[in-house]
Amino acid sequence: MNPACAQLAVLRFGSDGVSTSSDSVAVEAPLEILVGERHLAMTMRTPGHDEELAAGFLFTEGLVQHRNQIRSLTGAGNRVVVETAAPLPVLPARQFTMTSACGVCGKTSVEDLFSSGKQPIPQDVFTIHSDTLRTLPEVLRQSQTGFHQTGGLHAAGLFDAQGRAILVREDVGRHNAVDKLIGSLFLTGLLPAQKHILLVSSRASFELVQKSGIAGIPMLAAIGAPSTLAVETAQRFGITLAGFLREDRFNVYAGEHRIVHS
């Protein structure tokens, strides 16, 4: 059974009356992330790929930088325990409380938000043709098995310049979906992902742009709209940002030089 979905009894109202039926609903449940015995974060997530989520969160929060800093990840129930090879330099005094719609999580100021971003991404490593870019939403939809069942999950997909899906993750929270994807890349030694594009099924928030930059991903595309802070962050870190991506159109808000359209 898919842990991301639950079957619930419902009353279905239609033009032909009312009937008893069942419906697939996306699972939202708490996940506690611990480093050793110390509580680090609590998030509401969709079960599945919990170890990737924990690794991605630690990496995108700047708490680890290299795979060998993590000795083990043990997920059981609604907990993931991370054992590190050495004590982390400084665990934040603030408590991370992440909702499924988290935008800034445990950050304390706008400059704190920017400070965890890395150096600007190389500008001449990745390009994608506009025709290829417009094909990505349909490829992502075909890979969204949980969404097809429930209609209630966000997706994050990593693609190459030829439009091939490399990795797709789903979650009730868009930030969790991205952390799962980045966590998988981190654990398998595939970062920085400088020759790929990240597509999200949601809007493009500041934090999604920031996570892309930390992972070395040069381009973020979104089915929805970006925010002003997302655009500012993309410009600041040299990331290409596209929004309202459809089969027939899209907008580019930063880094247009990576899109070939001749």
Each residue's pLDDT tens digit, 100-124: 444 444 444 455 555 555 567 888 8
8 Å CB contact between 238 and 219: no
> What single-letter DSSP state applies at residue 229?
H
Q: Find residue 82's DSSP bridge partners.
A: 35, 73
Rg of the chain (C-alpha set): 19
Same fold, 29-114 and 128-260: no
Q: What is the pLDDT, as a whole number, of residue 114? A: 54
Catalytic: which of 98, 102, 172, 254? Answer: 102
Bridging pattern class, strands 29-35 and 79-84? parallel
The domain ranges of the chain are 29-114, 128-260
Instruction: Assign domain 128-260 one CATH number from 3.40.140.10, 3.40.50.2300, 3.40.630.10, 1.10.490.10.
Output: 3.40.140.10
User: Is 90 exceeded by the pLDDT of residue 13?
Assistant: yes
Q: How many CB atoms lie within 10 A of CB 167?
A: 20
5 is catalytic: no
pTM of the model: 0.90
Look over the chain and give the mean of its residue pLDDT values, rounded to a whole number: 90
| Tokens standing for residue 209 | 């742009």
**What is the dotted CATH code of the domain comprising 29-114?**
3.10.20.10
User: Is 50 exceeded by the pLDDT of residue 20?
Assistant: yes
Q: Name the band, by pLDDT with cuts 50, 70 and 90, for residue 171.
A: very high
